[in-house]
Structures are given as structure tokens and as C-alpha cells.
């Protein structure tokens, strides 16, 4: 396997795999490097119901498996490594991943985003000991237990619903009096008998000894605090882009998302970005796919121009 490619894609979620499908079909030599430590958000999603053409819904794992097989069928190569650095080379870019340095004329960044931490005492201490950011990974550990979900967006509500399959009771704690999540998800959650809601409240500490035993909560209106016993705390309070290794390489916004134009061009010639890691309005599988296809086409034009095609 040569270490020199036309296009190097970093990230193996829907954006990266779609980009890989398109560059492979454009007959550009392409290597996709997916992280082996940070999974794509799609892969750890229990059920994706809003991907058009699959009315019964599909697990994120299966959908991504299908994406990968389809791209590989057209010649996409892929490896699992964590990229640590990107450097400008004479006519392209050098990318360090594991013990190897890869070279490419163009790079497509599709590293996605990961769950944001709440930032309260006890959160780090009890991570993996009752604190989780992944319902699909850890939900089954809480069979017949009472657990809490923090957050009010699509992820919190969807994952809370998934957790009702295992838990005796799921209490959603939200800092406001209404959910941010898509209406249909709100309706389902509010109607679910295993769900309870604590509105206008913030979790200020995660309590326990060895394992989580509860949370300390403050009512943001009355400022009254209380301690509620729970065995598990699932935190879904938004996303952080996986772009730490790109500081000083491409322009990022104040939250760390990559700034691109509508052709997915970053501030560096030859580097494109797509999916959840870029500054954009809507983070969904379907928008990641659209971004991926556009980034691939832009990279194709760029590489062909470099080669004088
Ligand atoms: P999000 O939409 O940013 O929502 C984060 C939630 O956490 C909000 O309700 C926010 O409260 C709350 N929050 C933020 N910081 C907090 C803090 N420090 N303490 C307490 N609560 C806090 O994040 P997300 O739900 O992870 O979704 C991310 C993106 O993925 C969105 O674009 C979403 O639409 C998309 N997504 C889509 C689907 C789907 O289509 N089925 C599924 C999952 C995710 P406020 O509401 O008060 O701001």
C-alpha cells in the first residue's frame, strides 16, 4: 500500500464515507482514516428515523456499515488510526497517523463532533462509573434502575427514549421549561410512562462513593437545591467539534468548528471540511452526506487542476 494519495479523508462518519464514495467513483486514489478512539455520532445512534428512503428507520451502526461497504466497492481504502498532525508539503499535505506519515494532494476533514461535558464536580470522577455520554453503549447496564438524562435537545430526548427500554424510570433534567428537541420526539417523550421531567433545573454535582448514587440539582427560579438518588447519569448537552489537531492549520470559529464556504473549502488551499465538524446550521446524517458529496467534488476539481487534467 503506497502512502501517497490524491485525497485523504479524515473521519469515518456519514460525511467522510460519502466523500469517499464520490472520490472513489471519480477514480481519485483515496485513503479514509477513521479514528479508533472517537466513534462517529451516527455509529452510536440506536435508531435513525429521518434518513429518507428508510421509512422503518435503521440503526446508525447498520447505516454506516452500508455506507462503508458501498464506498469500498468502488475502491475506497480505509484504516483506523488517530491523526495527530497535518503539515504543508511541496505540492500537497503530510498527515501523521499512528507511526506513519501519509501524503496527499488534498485533504477532506470529516472528523465530526463528540459529546460536550457538563463541567460539574463528580463528572470526571464517575465517568464509566455511572456517568455516560452514550446510551447505546451503556444503557443495558441500567436495567430496572432509576437514571437521569441531562439536556433538552434531540440527542437528550432520543437517547432518553432509548433508555426507557432498560431503566425503571428515566428523569430528564432540563435547565428551561421547554425542550429544544424536534416536536415529534418531544411528543413521544412527554407521552412515555417511564419518563419524568425536572424543569428549570441544573445539575450542579454528581454524587457518589465509588459509583454514582445521585445528583445535586438547583432550581434556577427558586434557587432551591435538592439531592436526588439515581444510579446513572447520561449527559447530552451538545457537541464539541473534533478539531483540536487543526488549531493553526485551518481557520476555526470561536467554538472550534471549521469555517468553510459553500463549496466546503477551508481557509487552506487543498483542505476541505464537511459534516458536523464544520460551522453550519443543521447537524444531521443527511446534511453530512450532502456536505461530503460537495467536499469530494471540490477536492476532485482541485486535484485535477493540480494535475493539469
Ligand atoms: P443541542 O441541540 O445543542 O442541545 C443541547 C441541549 O443541552 C439543549 O437543550 C441545551 O439547553 C442543553 N445544555 C447545553 N449546555 C448545557 C449545560 N451546561 N447545562 C445544562 N443543559 C445544557 O445538542 P444535541 O441535542 O446534542 O444535538 C446536536 C445536533 O445534532 C443538533 O443539530 C441536533 O438537531 C442534531 N441531532 C439530530 C437528531 C435527529 O435528527 N434525530 C438526533 C440527535 C442530534 P437549551 O435548550 O436551554 O439551550
Architecture of domain 117-235: 3-Layer(bba) Sandwich (3.50)
Domain residue limits, the chain: 4-114+239-307, 117-235
Is 277 among the catalytic positions?
no
How far is 184 from 299, CA to CA, in rounded Å? 38
- Let me know if the fold of 4-114+239-307 is the same as that of 117-235: yes
Describe the crossing of helices 60-73 and 14-25 by its angle, rounded to 10 degrees. Answer: 20
Tens of pLDDT, residue by residue over 88-129, are 998 899 999 999 999 999 999 999 999 999 999 999 999 999
Ligand 1 mutation target, pool 155, 160, 176, 234, most atoms within 8 A of CB: 155
Residues of the chain with pLDDT under 50: none
Taking the C-alpha atoms of residue 131 and residue 258, their distance in angstroms, rounded to an integer, is: 29
pLDDT tens profile 1-41 = 579 999 999 999 999 999 999 999 999 999 999 998 889 99
CA of 201 to the centre of ligand 1 (A): 16
Cell of 57: 428507520
From the list 46, 82, 89, 134, the catalytic residue is: 134
What's the rounded Cα separation, in Å, for the pair 7 and 273? 12
pTM of the model: 0.91
> How far apart, in whole angstroms, are the C-alpha atoms of residue 286 and residue 55?
14
4-114+239-307 sits in which CATH class? Answer: alpha beta
Amino acid at each position: 500500500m503506497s502512502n501517497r494519495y490524491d485525497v485523504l479523508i479524515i473521519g469515518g462518519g456519514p460525511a467522510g464515507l460519502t466523500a469517499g464514495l464520490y472520490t472513489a467513483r471519480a477514480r481519485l486514489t483515496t485513503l479514509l482514516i477513521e479514528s479508533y478512539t472517537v466513534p462517529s455520532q451516527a455509529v452510536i445512534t440506536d435508531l435513525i428515523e429521518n434518513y429518507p428512503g428508510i421509512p422503518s428507520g435503521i440503526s446508525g451502526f447498520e447505516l454506516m456499515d452500508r455506507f462503508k461497504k458501498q464506498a469500498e466497492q468502488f475502491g475506497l481504502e480505509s484504516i483506523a488510526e488517530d491523526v495527530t498532525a497535518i503539515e504543508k508539503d511541496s505540492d500537497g499535505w503530510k498527515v501523521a497517523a499512528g507511526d506513519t506519515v501519509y501524503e496527499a494532494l488534498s485533504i477532506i476533514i470529516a472528523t465530526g463532533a463528540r459529546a460536550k461535558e457538563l463541567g460539574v464536580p463528580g463528572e470526571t470522577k464517575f465517568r464509566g462509573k455511572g456517568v455516560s455520554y452514550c446510551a447505546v453503549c451503556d444503557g443495558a447496564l441500567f436495567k430496572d434502575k432509576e437514571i437521569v438524562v441531562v439536556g433538552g435537545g434531540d440527542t437528550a430526548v432520543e437517547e432518553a427514549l432509548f433508555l426507557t427500554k432498560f431503566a425503571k424510570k428515566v428523569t430528564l433534567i432540563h435547565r428551561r421549561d421547554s425542550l429544544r428537541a424536534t416536536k415529534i420526539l418531544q411528543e413521544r417523550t412527554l407521552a412515555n410512562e417511564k419518563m419524568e421531567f425536572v424543569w428549570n433545573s441544573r445539575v450542579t454535582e454528581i454524587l457518589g462513593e465509588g459509583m454514582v448514587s445521585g445528583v445535586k440539582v438547583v432550581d434556577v427560579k427558586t434557587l432551591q437545591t435538592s439531592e436526588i438518588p439515581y444510579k446513572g447519569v447520561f449527559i447530552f448537552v451538545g457537541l464539541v467539534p473534533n478539531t483540536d489537531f487543526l488549531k493553526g492549520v485551518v481557520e476555526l470559529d470561536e467554538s472550534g468548528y471549521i469555517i468553510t464556504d459553500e463549496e466546503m473549502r477551508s481557509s487552506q488551499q487543498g483542505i476541505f471540511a464537511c459534516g458536523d465538524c464544520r460551522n453550519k446550521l443543521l447537524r444531521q446524517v443527511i446534511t453530512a452526506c450532502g456536505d461530503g458529496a460537495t467536499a469530494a467534488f471540490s477536492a476532485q476539481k482541485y486535484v485535477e487542476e493540480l494535475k493539469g487534467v
